[in-house]
Structure 1
Amino acid sequence: MVGIGTAPDSWGVWFADDPQQTSWTRFLDEVVAAGYTRIELGPYGYLPTDPVRLKDELDRRGLTMTAGTTFEQLHRPDGWDATWRDIAKTAELTAAMGAQHLVVMPSMWRGDNGEIVEERLDHEGQAKHGQAVTELGRRLAEEFGLQTQYHPHADGHIDTQDTVERFLAETDSAYVNLCLDTGHISYCGGDNLELIRKYPDRIGYVHLKQVDPKVLAEVEAEGLSVDEAVRRGVFREPPYGAPELPPVLEALAGLDAEVFAIVEQDMYPCAPDVPLPIAQRTLAYLTAHGGSRSI
């Protein structure tokens, strides 16, 4: 069964504190109004970081948390300490909410204005990176009881189908599996259904989003960053983009596992009245095509 949830990202939230973003209280209230019962933590510091207060805010709205989200920089020789410092606080709060997953994303090789900020990892670099992420997953499991779900990201060091498959080959499934983000996989020319078919035991978590092929072609032709693509509306609500989500939900439902599929439609920045109607329509569409509000 595929349990549907949502995230602060679908309300235009990318940062802990930004005047362009919806307030956290409005976000939580509108999640309930849209009909969802599951959320992700979002950027650390957006929702209250005191676990007692956050648990109370969730409980009185009938919400549960499925995962925290964070970035890593473990491909850098000196990246462990900075990565662990940021991840540990997110993991601690995530675990305190009763969530089982931590979604971890790669550092970017391309900056917001489109310039190349780091060289892509070669095979040796990918192998070392995979070993480091495995060690991260081991520590997160042992210290916080969390399952690490790795999230490929456009303009990140793990992005294309090739880099995703090599990452899976270089990591230990006992500690690291895949957060399949359907939008980022499609953005980078990958095949979501192929990944589910080839690696059914490595699909640990899912982010649902769709890409507008027309906008994607424009930003690729201009060599723009994914951040600029988001500002141009590259990620669309279903069913108006790619990939088609009903076949993805069907394939996920066929896995021998209960899967959380979190709607994560990047919309930064967006006007405060935009997210709620989209969230309502998206949930209705996904539940009509096999998704479930509860597991």
Structure 2
Amino acid sequence: MSVRIGINPLSWTNDDLPTLGAETPLEVCLSEGKQAGFSGFELGNKFPRQPEVLGPILDSHQLDLVSGWFSGELLTRSVEEEIEAIEDHLHLLKTLGAKVMVYCEVTGCIHGQQGTPLSHRPRISEAEIAALGEKLTRVAEYTLSQGVQIAYHHHMGTVIESEAEVDLLMKYTSPAVGLLLDTGHLTFAGGDPIAVQKRHADRIVHVHCKDLREAVLKDAKNRDLSFLDAMLNGVFTVPGDGFIDYLSIFNGLKASNYQGWLVVEAEQDPAVAHPLTYATLGANNLKKFCAESGLNLVD
């Protein structure tokens, strides 16, 4: 059983607020990510989406494709329409060797709207989560048949945000639907990532490692900020630089024989938080947590 460490390019260029790092070329993201100590990258807005183009670029940096975000719309699309929409993304991931797809239902989401407080995020009933789960299972069975497993990303500002909503989605989906454990999003939402890791250990197929600055988080909640304003204020940071108990989480991953990627996904303003500095800190901290927990880290 082994794990690898990867990073999301959000540290350099932001997908939800593209003006952040807009001038930073992909070459800088990849070269600095490799320099920081990572083995792979998730996709971002600077990445070509043709495998014959992206593959050689990653190879030139000795990096692997970890995964990539897909904006699901199963609340408004049929299973057949969703599968059709997902085909190009699935082809890219499958061709370049990624084993999981970061998937999030984005119908009505508000995390990309800077003027919308997080309290205004969409909510659906248990019956609606059950219906979503039934459709998501069918889509996941299809992607799994192609060699790529859906890793559902619970996310601030979306219909699956809270710990209770994660529990319901797991209840109403089959094991074909994997869970992406995002420590930062779950903590931001008031949940307990340690408890979720233990409860859904057999479903976790991907892990996003972001930490939170406690004082900034309290301020964001007190003032009911938008997701983007909270991010710009510095609520997120790399693992080990905030207040989340990563060692306990990694101990749980070790106990459950987790194997897969541990991905630093810590969006900050690159003009404030120097990307290479924080990427290096994140990589070093992940290596330390792996060593302390006994997780077998490989390149």
Aligned twin of 1:129: 132
**Is residue 61 from structure 1 mapped to residue 65 from structure 2 by the alignment?**
no
Query: Comparing 7-16 with 144-153, which one deviates more in the overlay?
Result: 7-16
Q: Distance in 1 between matches of 2:159 and 2:247?
A: 29
Distance 1:253 1:126, change over 3 A: same
Aligned twin of 2:156: 154
Q: Distance in 1 between matches of 2:55 and 2:88?
A: 16
Aligned twin of 1:87: 86
> Is 1:114–1:223's contact at 8 Å kept on the other side of the alignment?
no
Three-state SS of the structure 2 residue aligned to 1:290 is helix
Q: Distance in 2 between matches of 1:272 and 1:59?
A: 30
Percent of residue pairs identical:
25
Distance 1:255 1:186, change over 3 A: same
Q: Distance in 2 between matches of 1:58 and 1:51?
A: 10
Distance 1:86 1:112, change over 3 A: farther
Supply the RMSD in Å over aligned alpha carbons.
2.4
Show the 5 A alignment for 1:105-124. 105-107=104-106, 108-110=108-110, 111-114=113-116, 119-124=122-127
> Is 2:74–2:135's contact at 8 Å kept on the other side of the alignment?
yes
Three-state SS of the structure 2 residue aligned to 1:246 is helix
> Is 1:130–1:170's contact at 8 Å kept on the other side of the alignment?
yes
Distance 1:18 1:97, change over 3 A: farther
Q: What's the offset of the Cα at 1:131?
A: 1.0
Aligned twin of 2:143: 140
Q: What's the offset of the Cα at 1:17?
A: 6.9
Aligned twin of 1:294: 298
> Is 1:70–1:105's contact at 8 Å kept on the other side of the alignment?
yes
Deviations for 1:30-86, whole angstroms, at most 9, x for unmatched residues?
11111211111234xx2122312211111121111121211212122x465764454
Three-state SS of the structure 2 residue aligned to 1:200 is coil
Deviations for 1:130-163, whole angstroms, at most 9, x for unmatched residues?
1111111112122x32111001001111110100
Distance 1:16 1:236, change over 3 A: closer
> Is 2:17–2:228's contact at 8 Å kept on the other side of the alignment?
no
**Is residue 163 from structure 1 mapped to residue 165 from structure 2 by the alignment?**
yes
**Is residue 39 from structure 1 mapped to residue 68 from structure 2 by the alignment?**
no
Q: Distance in 2 between matches of 1:52 and 1:58?
A: 11
Q: What's the offset of the Cα at 1:169?
A: 0.2
**Residue type at the aligned position of 1:106:** E
Q: Distance in 1 between matches of 2:81 and 2:241?
A: 39
> Is 1:178–1:205's contact at 8 Å kept on the other side of the alignment?
yes
Q: Distance in 1 between matches of 2:85 and 2:44?
A: 13
Three-state SS of the structure 2 residue aligned to 1:289 is helix
**Is residue 284 from structure 1 mapped to residue 248 from structure 2 by the alignment?**
no
Q: What's the offset of the Cα at 1:260?
A: 1.2
**Residue type at the aligned position of 2:156:** A
**TM-score of the superposition, structure 2-length normalised?**
0.88
Unmatched segments (≥5 aa) in structure 2: none
Q: What's the offset of the Cα at 1:251?
A: 1.4
Query: Comparing 7-16 with 88-97, which one deviates more in the overlay?
Result: 7-16
Q: Distance in 2 between matches of 1:208 and 1:160?
A: 17
Aligned twin of 2:188: 187
- Number of residues paired by the alignment? 289
**Residue type at the aligned position of 1:126:** I
Q: Distance in 2 between matches of 1:95 and 1:16?
A: 28
Q: Distance in 1 between matches of 2:125 and 2:42?
A: 33
**Residue type at the aligned position of 2:55:** K
Distance 1:230 1:15, change over 3 A: closer
